[in-house]
Amino acid sequence: MSAPLTPPRVILGVAGASGAVLALEAARHLQTIGAEIDLVASTAAERTLSEEIGPDAFGALSGMATRCHEIGNIGADIASGSVPVSGMIVAPCSMRSLAAIAHGLDDNLLTRAASVQLKERRGWCC
């Protein structure tokens, strides 16, 4: 008898760029495959979700997550390469976050988690 498959664990980073609907769509798709979702969203992302979609959008997104992490919690488990995750999606990704990731400026949990994915050679996309 084969062992049961464990669901993938995926980090969903949400930056403050326009296109907040991408975060909700990514979370919905991850839910359909049974993924565990670790959500980390910037303060600007919360505002953008509210302005582009509505005041309940961030709550809806958080409700789809298995775990929610504060952007400033650089010591969260997803900031470590020893935590097994399948990969990371940053959607939408602001130019600020993209530049920080590209230059290794790990000044918040979103950019730190992305750097860990790169270091561990795991899949990630922006």
Report field, pTM of the whole predicted structure over 0.85: yes
Q: How confident is the model at residue 15 (pLDDT cuts 50, 70, 90)?
A: very high
Q: Is 25 a member of any domain?
A: yes
Q: Is 102 a member of any domain?
A: yes
User: Is residue 100 classed as helix, strand or coil in its secondary structure?
Assistant: helix
User: Is residue 64 classed as helix, strand or coil in its secondary structure?
Assistant: helix
Number of domains the chain is built from: 1
Residue 103 reports pLDDT greater than 70:
yes
Q: pLDDT tens across 30-70, in order?
A: 999 999 999 999 999 999 999 999 999 999 999 999 999 99
Q: Is 68 a member of any domain?
A: no
Q: Which of 16, 27, 91, 13 is nearest to 51 (CA)?
A: 16
Q: Is 72 a member of any domain?
A: no
Q: Is 87 a member of any domain?
A: yes
Residue 3 reports pLDDT greater than 60:
no
Q: How confident is the model at residue 125 (pLDDT cuts 50, 70, 90)?
A: confident
Q: What is the extent of the structural domain holding 25?
A: 15-48+83-126
C-alpha distances out from residue 15 to 1, 3, 49, 85, Å: 43, 37, 10, 20
Strand partners, 67: 38
Q: Is 57 a member of any domain?
A: no
Q: Is 7 a member of any domain?
A: no
Q: Is 55 a member of any domain?
A: no
Record the tokens describing residue 35, joined without a space: 């993924």
Neighbours of 60 (CB within 10 A): 14
Residue 123 reports pLDDT greater than 90:
no
